Amino acid sequence: MTEPESFSLETEVLVVGAGYAGLTAAACLAERGTSVVVLEAADRVGGRVLSEVRPSGVRIDHGGQWIGPTQRRFRALAERFGCRTFPTWETGRNAEIWHDGTRLDYTGALPPSGPGAGEYERITALLDDLARTVDLERPWATPRFAELDRWSAEEFFRAETSDEAVLRRLSLAVQGVWCAEPREISFFHVLFYVASAGGYEQLMETRGCAQDARFSSGADAVARALARQLGERVRLGAPVLSMRQDARGVEARTERGVVRARRAIVAVPPAVVERIAFDPPLPADRLGWLRHNPMGRVAKVHAVYEEPFWRAAGQSGIATLYGENPVGVVFDNSPQDASRGVLVAFVYADRLDRWAALGAGDRRRAVLAALSEVVGERALRPLDYAEMIWPRTGWTAGGYECFATPGGWAGHGRAGWRAPTGRIHWAGTETASVWNGYIDGAISSGERAAAEVAARREAAGQLR
Ligand SMILES: Cc1cc2nc3c(=O)[nH]c(=O)nc-3n(C[C@H](O)[C@H](O)[C@H](O)COP(=O)(O)OP(=O)(O)OC[C@H]3O[C@@H](n4cnc5c(N)ncnc54)[C@H](O)[C@@H]3O)c2cc1C
């Protein structure tokens, strides 16, 4: 990788964004012998995946961290670069803490006698049934597409139940998976996403599902390995400010230089695409799609302790909190050798908005108070404490991913979701059909965009 400097480059393909999608697209093209330049706004690669070794010696993942067994593309890349994983800790009793302070300890996916548990399972089974009707490659071909997309998830849930406990469970599920409130998200998008993961359980559970394992060297290790392989093709600290295309090619400008290419792959989240000035302007459907795809709002907070003391008390450290305090979900994020104890707390959506507006001291007190409800008052005295408030990070504007609001798919999905705009192709996890929203989806989107570009090249006998 090179340090930022003035440049004027000619290449066959320009890739914008060095997250998993952009790096994969560039690596696929480079392996085919195509010349490629990657422009990345930040001073690092990895995008929404970022690992850090803390002063306490513990490595934490501020962004994406888990990998599941059916995330085949991510697994293949991790294996190729020798990046090892270890199972997520889930031994011991999980806890549910309700708004009235009630605490339920349980093992397994749900407390069988928990408030609203049976009805919640009925509704999530219904989600799975409806998700099986989704056409992942051509979502607009799904039966009842426009009708399902008109509803918000909240409208669907309220049509199914008026039980407040069930609604609280469903809300936390939406917050935990999409970092949004049920009123904000298209019900069709929920179904699409469930289908894209292979079922509701895949999204929610740990063993055998999306939260199955973590990386010994951080979840960005694979991205760093891809970037090393791409070498000087990757330019950091180079936000693309404008892109102009005509019949001959694409020209991208940054503050430091310009890149001219035959084609471009833009691999940045929908929520930040419009920070680039396009000439000619993007078509109406693409703009409509982008404007119906806001980013989720999430913070990840890590508290580090001398040891995972909750394990000795028979607790897993896994908790769901339905109350007014900021934290929605807690996991044990200790290193594999348990040399320290680490709890990670997730703060989502409306609760994030309220918590993020507090001063640093109040934020910390509120999170530690929530952790103490889960594992006891020792949680109030961490060795180390680290927050990452994703909506405040410059170049991705939130996390985990963008989600479609009601009417977005039916109004603009067909032409706006991922169809190329002239010589500009679109990648990024939000364009994936499988594991949309996840690292695995980012990787497959990079592969698809690279294949689109290569197909144009083969069709024309050259890159035109
Ligand atoms: C808190 C959190 C937890 C998550 N947990 C998981 C998890 O456990 N497992 C999982 O699989 N996924 C998880 N995800 C989601 C996962 O991180 C993303 O799906 C994935 O990293 C997206 O990759 P991407 O390449 O599509 O986009 P990004 O990673 O967002 O990459 C886009 C890149 O483009 C750059 N960029 C933006 N604008 C410009 C510009 N104008 N010019 C140049 N560069 C630009 C950005 O700096 C960024 O590097 C999580 C995400 C977050 C935030």
* pLDDT by residue, tens only, the chain of 464 residues: 545 468 999 999 999 999 999 999 999 999 999 999 999 999 999 999 999 999 989 999 999 999 999 999 999 999 999 999 999 999 999 999 999 999 999 998 888 788 999 999 999 999 999 999 999 999 999 999 999 999 999 999 999 999 999 999 999 999 999 999 999 999 999 999 999 999 999 999 999 999 999 999 999 999 999 999 999 999 999 999 999 999 999 999 999 999 999 999 999 999 999 999 999 999 999 999 999 999 999 999 999 999 999 999 999 999 999 988 899 999 999 999 999 999 999 999 999 999 999 999 999 999 999 999 999 999 999 999 999 999 998 899 999 999 999 999 999 999 999 999 999 999 999 999 999 999 999 999 999 999 999 998 777 765 44
Nearest-atom number in ligand 1 for the CA of 398 is 53
User: Rounded distance, CA 148 to CA 313, Å?
Assistant: 46
Strand partners, 53: 59
Query: Shortest CA distance to 426 belongs to which of 212, 282, 307, 314?
Result: 282
Residue with CA nearest ligand 1 atom 41: 240
Pairing of strands 424-426, 327-332: unpaired
Q: Give me the pLDDT at residue 461, please.
A: 67
> What's the one-letter identity of residue 78?
A
Cβ neighbours, 10 Å, residue 53: 11
For the record, the structure tokens of 376 come out as 């006891």
The backbone torsions φ and ψ at residue 167, rounded to the nearest 5 degrees and listed phi first, read -65, -35
Q: Give me the pLDDT at residue 463, please.
A: 45
**CB 439 less than 6 A from any atom of ligand 1:** yes
**CB 401 less than 6 A from any atom of ligand 1:** yes
**CB 18 less than 6 A from any atom of ligand 1:** yes
**CB 70 less than 6 A from any atom of ligand 1:** no
In degrees, rounded to 5, the angle at the alpha carbon of residue 277 between the alpha carbons of residues 42 and 9 is 60
Nearest-atom number in ligand 1 for the CA of 437 is 19
Phi-psi region of 386 (alpha: psi -120 to 50; beta: other; left: phi over 0): beta
CATH 3.90.660.10 residue window(s) in the chain? 51-71+84-90+209-215+296-392
Domain 51-71+84-90+209-215+296-392 top-level CATH class: alpha beta
- Residue of 268, 402, 403 with the most ligand 1 atoms within 8 Å of its CB, for mutation: 268
Q: Which ranges of 116-199 would DSSP assign to H, the alpha helix?
A: 117-131, 145-150, 153-160, 164-178, 187-197
- Residue of 439, 443, 448 with the most ligand 1 atoms within 8 Å of its CB, for mutation: 439
**CB 424 less than 6 A from any atom of ligand 1:** no
User: Rounded distance, CA 445 to CA 434, Å?
Assistant: 9
Residue with CA nearest ligand 1 atom 33: 17
Q: Which ranges of 205-269 would DSSP assign to H, the alpha helix?
A: 221-230
Residue with CA nearest ligand 1 atom 19: 438
CATH 1.10.405.10 residue window(s) in the chain? 116-204
Asked if CATH classification 3.50.50.60 holds for the domain at 7-47+220-282+421-459, the reply, yes or no, is yes
Indicate the helix (H) or strand (E) that contains 75: helix 72-80
CB 332 within 8 A of CB 439: no
**CB 434 less than 6 A from any atom of ligand 1:** no
Q: Give me the pLDDT at residue 108, please.
A: 84
Pairing of strands 7-16, 257-266: parallel
Eight-class DSSP state of 151: S
Task: Tell me the CA–centroid distance for residue 208 and ligand 1, in Å.
Answer: 23
Asked if CATH classification 3.20.20.80 holds for the domain at 116-204, the reply, yes or no, is no
**CB 96 less than 6 A from any atom of ligand 1:** no
Eight-class DSSP state of 292: T
For the record, the structure tokens of 75 come out as 């697994």
Q: Give me the pLDDT at residue 464, please.
A: 46
CATH 3.50.50.60 residue window(s) in the chain? 7-47+220-282+421-459
Task: Tell me the CA–centroid distance for residue 47 and ligand 1, in Å.
Answer: 4
For the record, the structure tokens of 81 come out as 């670069």
**CB 49 less than 6 A from any atom of ligand 1:** yes
User: Rounded distance, CA 376 to CA 399, Å?
Assistant: 29
Residue with CA nearest ligand 1 atom 21: 48
Q: Give me the pLDDT at residue 173, please.
A: 98
